[in-house]
């Protein structure tokens, strides 16, 4: 053994060899195993911290989303009020959501202003239509009254020119009385066409009999032109309406159909229940309604016949609307159908 450096045993040699190659530290610990476990511990700690960060972020995001959902529910509840105008929404405190709320409020204000303008415009249009209709009625009244007044004036002037002829005076007075009666009838028809009727509803169980009864009133007039007024048997449940008023409207429709039908053609009266309405229809095989009067057909003085007064369909419209219904017109290729659409009501 050389002096200055010697090993007492083989174990001393291995330990010194470990020192030489860095396997053991001065205390004799295994440094490689220590480093390995240190790395595992560091990685585990890092993963744990990452997991904590992820869980915290998820919790924070969940809270943010929950607050957003709560505010969105508030906005949704405010928007679902069913009002015509969009409600003014309150700010939520969330900057991004508040921008959406402000945009909705702005759009709602513009929509409300547009709706107000539309309502005003529609009101002006309705007023204009009423004034136009009033002008047409006034023109019709002036036209209808002018002729009787002219006849009365002529007869009166003739009677005054021949005061000694009592027969002329008597004839003039007779004409005056007749023309005054004509004007009185004209004014009565005009009032019936514009004034609301006093509706007295009552249960009607025999609809077919009701139609047949009114068809029989015009059978003789129709047979002169070989026109058949037919009422096919139909089953309709009992309904409620004013028989007198609806009968008056039905008479006008039947007479109108006879006057506008070709000789030898049929007229059909039908009744049926459509959803919750009673439909009474009068169908003819005539030439239809002239295009020039279709737009104002249900107004007073609107007529396509030289001898017509133009009150029949106006009365039909007034009676139907007084029942809460409406009258419709169908232009078929082989004729015309008028239909009274009436609410059925509930018979006691």
Helices and strands, counts by H and E, the chain: 8, 7
Q: Binning pLDDT at 50, 70 and 90, where does residue 270 land?
A: very high
Mean pLDDT of 86-110: 74
Name the average pLDDT for the chain.
76
> Is residue 164's pLDDT more than 80?
no
Identify which of 287, 288, 283, 275 has the alpha carbon closest to the alpha carbon of residue 232.
283
What's the pLDDT tens digit per position in 48-85? 888 888 888 888 888 877 876 776 676 667 666 655 66
DSSP letter at 196? Answer: P
Interatomic CA distance for residues 296 and 290, integer angstroms: 11
Fold adopted by 202-343: Heat Shock Protein 90 (3.30.565)
Q: What residue spans in the chain does CATH classification 3.30.565.10 cover?
A: 202-343
Interatomic CA distance for residues 307 and 304, integer angstroms: 9
pLDDT of residue 133: 62
SS3 at position 331: strand
What's the pLDDT tens digit per position in 28-47? 555 777 777 888 888 888 88
Task: Give me 247's structure tokens.
Answer: 């009968």
Q: Binning pLDDT at 50, 70 and 90, where does residue 102 land?
A: confident
Minimum mean pLDDT range among 145-149, 158-162, 192-196, 322-326: 192-196
pLDDT of residue 317: 86
Task: Give me 260's structure tokens.
Answer: 């506008």
pLDDT of residue 310: 67
Number of Cβ atoms within 10 Å of the Cβ of 335: 21
Q: With contact defined as beta carbons under 8 Å apart, do 174 and 318 qualify? A: no
pLDDT of residue 145: 72
Domain 133-194: CATH architecture, name and number where available: Orthogonal Bundle (1.10)
- Percent of the chain at pLDDT > 90 equals 9
Q: Binning pLDDT at 50, 70 and 90, where does residue 177 land?
A: confident
Q: What residue spans in the chain does CATH classification 1.10.287.130 cover?
A: 133-194
What's the pLDDT tens digit per position in 9-21? 444 444 444 444 4
> Is residue 193's pLDDT more than 60?
no
């Amino acid at each position: 053994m050389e002096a200055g450096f010697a090993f007492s045993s083989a174990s001393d040699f291995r330990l010194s060899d470990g020192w030489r190659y860095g396997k053991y530290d001065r205390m004799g610990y295994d440094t490689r195993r220590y480093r390995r476990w240190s790395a595992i511990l560091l990685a585990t700690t890092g993963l744990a911290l990452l997991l904590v960060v992820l869980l915290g972020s998820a919790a924070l995001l969940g809270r943010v989303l929950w607050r957003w959902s709560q505010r969105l529910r508030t906005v949704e509840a405010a928007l679902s009020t069913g009002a015509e105008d969009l409600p003014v929404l309150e700010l939520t405190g969330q900057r991004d959501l508040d921008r959406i709320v402000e945009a909705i409020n702005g759009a709602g204000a513009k929509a409300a202003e547009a709706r107000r303008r539309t309502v005003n415009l529609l009101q002006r249009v309705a007023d204009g239509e009423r004034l136009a209709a009033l002008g047409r009625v006034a023109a019709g009244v002036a036209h209808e009254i002018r002729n009787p007044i002219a006849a009365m004036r002529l007869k009166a002037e003739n009677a005054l020119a021949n005061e000694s002829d009592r027969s002329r005076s008597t004839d003039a007075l007779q004409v005056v009385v007749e023309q005054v009666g004509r004007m009185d009838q004209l004014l009565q028809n005009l009032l019936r066409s514009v004034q609301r009727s006093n509706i007295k509803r009552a249960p009607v169980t025999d609809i077919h009999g009701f139609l047949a009864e009114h068809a029989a009133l015009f059978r003789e007039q129709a047979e002169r032109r070989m026109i058949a007024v037919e009422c096919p048997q139909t089953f309709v449940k009992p309904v409620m309406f004013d028989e007198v008023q609806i009968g008056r409207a039905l008479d006008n429709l039947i007479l109108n159909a006879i006057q506008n039908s070709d000789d030898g053609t049929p007229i059909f009266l039908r009744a049926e229940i459509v959803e919750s309405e009673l439909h009474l229809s009068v169908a003819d095989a005539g030439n239809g309604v002239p295009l020039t009067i279709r737009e104002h057909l249900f107004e007073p003085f609107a007529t396509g016949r030289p001898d017509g007064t133009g009150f029949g369909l106006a009365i039909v419209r007034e009676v139907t609307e007084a029942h809460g219904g409406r009258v419709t017109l169908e232009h078929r290729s082989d004729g015309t159908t008028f239909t009274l659409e009436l609410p059925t009501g509930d018979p006691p």
